[in-house]
Structure 1
Amino acid sequence: MVAYANMGSALLTPDDEGRTAFIDLGFTPPRAISYRSFDALANAYARGLYKRGLRAGDRVAAIAANSYVYLAVVYGALRAGITVVPVNYKLPASIISFILQDSAIRMAFVDGPRRVQVPDTVACIDLDTADASGLIPDFCDAGPFEAVTPGEADASMILYTSGSSGVPKGVVFSHLGHLWGLDRRTSPSGPSSGRTVVAAPLYHQNGLASSQATLGSGGTVILLPGFEVETFARAIADYGVEMITAVPTMIAMMVRKRDFVAGLDLSRVRQVRVSSAPSTPALFSEIKRLFRNATVVNGFGTTEGGPIFFGSHPEGLPQPEMSVGCGHPDVTLRLMVDGREIRNEGVLQIRSRAVMMGYLNKPELTAKVMTEDGFYNTGDIFRRDENGFFFFVRRADDMFVCGGENVFPGDVEGMLLRHPAIAEACVVPVEDEIKGFKPVAFVVAKEGQTLTEDDVKAFALENGPAYQHPRRVFIVSELPLAGTNKIDRHALADRAGAAVAVRNS
Structure 2
Amino acid sequence: MSSGNLGKCFDAGAFGEKIALIEPAKPAGQRETSYIELDREADAVARGLIKKGLVAGDSVGLIGQNSREFLSAYFGVMRAGMIAVPMSFKLAQRVIDHIFQDSEIKAAFVQADFAGMVPEGVQAFSLHRDDGFETLLDHGPFETFEPQGRELAMILYTSGSTGLPKGVLLSHASQRWSIDHVAKAGDDKQHHRYIVAAPMFHMNATISAKSALAVGASVVLLPTFDALEYAKAIGDHRVTWLTSVPTMLAMVARESERLGNIDLSSVTNVTMGSAPLTQALIDKVQAMFPASVINNSYGTTEGGPSPFGPHPDGVPRPALSLGYPLSGVETKLLESDEPNQGVFYVRSPMVMEGYRNLSEKTGEVLQDGWYRSGDLMRRDDDGFYYFLGRADDMFNVGGENVWPGEVEKLIEMMDGVHQASVVPAPHELKGQAPFAFVVLREGANLTEDDIKAFTIANGPAFSHPRNVRFVDSIPLAGTNKPDRKLLIERAARELS
TM above 0.5? yes
1-side partners of 2:225 and 2:161: how far apart? 27
Match for residue 350 of structure 1 among 346, 352, 373: 346
2-side partners of 1:390 and 1:44: how far apart? 44
| Aligned position for 1:89 | 89
Change (3 A) 1:248 1:164: closer
Equivalences for residues 321-400 of structure 1 within 5 A:
321-337=319-335, 343-371=339-367, 373-398=368-393
1-side partners of 2:353 and 2:258: how far apart? 45
Offset, 1:7:
4.1
Aligned residue identity for 2:116 = V
Match for residue 216 of structure 1 among 214, 217, 229: 214
Change (3 A) 1:215 1:378: same
2-side partners of 1:427 and 1:122: how far apart? 47
Change (3 A) 1:390 1:142: same
Structure 1 residue 319 and structure 2 residue 317: aligned? yes
| Aligned position for 2:234 | 236
Offset, 1:162:
2.7
Change (3 A) 1:136 1:394: closer
Offset, 1:152:
1.8
Equivalences for residues 425-440 of structure 1 within 5 A:
430-433=436-439
Aligned length: 425
Identity of aligned residues (%): 37
Match for residue 263 of structure 2 among 256, 262, 265: 265
1-side partners of 2:10 and 2:176: how far apart? 14
1-side partners of 2:211 and 2:495: how far apart? 52
Q: Please list the CA deviations of residues 282-331 of structure 1 after superposition, one character each: whole Å capped at 9, or x if unmatched.
A: 00001111101000110111111111310000011111010010011121
1-side partners of 2:73 and 2:198: how far apart? 18
CA RMSD after TM alignment: 3.1
Change (3 A) 1:246 1:240: same
| Aligned position for 2:180 | 183
Q: Please list the CA deviations of residues 193-229 of structure 1 after superposition, one character each: whole Å capped at 9, or x if unmatched.
A: 5100101001111111100000001000100000111
Aligned residue identity for 1:151 = Q
Q: Please list the CA deviations of residues 16-72 of structure 1 after superposition, one character each: whole Å capped at 9, or x if unmatched.
A: 410000001241311100001111000000101111111211100000010011011
1-side partners of 2:4 and 2:12: how far apart? 10
| Aligned position for 1:10 | 11
Offset, 1:469:
3.1
Offset, 1:121:
3.0
Q: Does structure 1 retain, via aligned residues, the 8 Å contact 2:247–2:482?
A: no
Aligned residue identity for 2:366 = M
Change (3 A) 1:474 1:124: same
Aligned residue identity for 1:159 = L
2-side partners of 1:427 and 1:42: how far apart? 52
Match for residue 194 of structure 1 among 192, 195, 198: 192
Offset, 1:129:
4.0
Change (3 A) 1:207 1:477: closer
TM-score, with structure 2 as normaliser: 0.79
Q: Secondary structure at the match of 1:91?
A: coil
Q: Does structure 2 retain, via aligned residues, the 8 Å contact 1:381–1:394?
A: yes
| Aligned position for 1:78 | 78
| Aligned position for 1:469 | 486
2-side partners of 1:271 and 1:476: how far apart? 41
Change (3 A) 1:357 1:46: same
Offset, 1:153:
3.7
Q: Does structure 1 retain, via aligned residues, the 8 Å contact 2:12–2:36?
A: no
Q: Does structure 1 retain, via aligned residues, the 8 Å contact 2:177–2:349?
A: yes
Change (3 A) 1:137 1:392: closer
Structure 2, unmatched stretches of 5+, are: 395-403, 409-420, 427-431, 441-476
Structure 1 residue 143 and structure 2 residue 179: aligned? no
Offset, 1:354:
1.0
Q: Does structure 2 retain, via aligned residues, the 8 Å contact 1:26–1:67?
A: no
Structure 1, unmatched stretches of 5+, are: 414-425, 435-460, 479-505
Q: Secondary structure at the match of 2:349?
A: coil
Change (3 A) 1:34 1:476: closer
TM-score, with structure 1 as normaliser: 0.78
1-side partners of 2:239 and 2:4: how far apart? 23
Match for residue 245 of structure 2 among 229, 234, 247: 247
Q: Does structure 2 retain, via aligned residues, the 8 Å contact 1:21–1:34?
A: yes
Q: Secondary structure at the match of 1:305?
A: coil
Q: Secondary structure at the match of 1:200?
A: coil
**Structure 1 range deviating more: 310-319 or 188-197:** 188-197
Change (3 A) 1:125 1:322: same
1-side partners of 2:344 and 2:124: how far apart? 41
Q: Does structure 1 retain, via aligned residues, the 8 Å contact 2:4–2:173?
A: no
Q: Secondary structure at the match of 2:33?
A: strand
2-side partners of 1:47 and 1:165: how far apart? 39
2-side partners of 1:276 and 1:182: how far apart? 17
Q: Secondary structure at the match of 2:156?
A: strand
Q: Secondary structure at the match of 1:156?
A: strand
Offset, 1:136:
2.5
Q: Please list the CA deviations of residues 457-489 of structure 1 after superposition, one character each: whole Å capped at 9, or x if unmatched.
A: xxxx9xxx99443473555897xxxxxxxxxxx
**Structure 1 range deviating more: 275-284 or 2-11:** 2-11
Change (3 A) 1:81 1:29: same
Q: Secondary structure at the match of 1:368?
A: helix
Q: Does structure 2 retain, via aligned residues, the 8 Å contact 1:248–1:274?
A: yes
2-side partners of 1:315 and 1:477: how far apart? 52
Offset, 1:6:
8.1
Aligned residue identity for 1:195 = R
Change (3 A) 1:212 1:90: same
Change (3 A) 1:293 1:476: closer
Change (3 A) 1:153 1:475: closer
Q: Does structure 1 retain, via aligned residues, the 8 Å contact 2:7–2:74?
A: no
Change (3 A) 1:165 1:253: closer
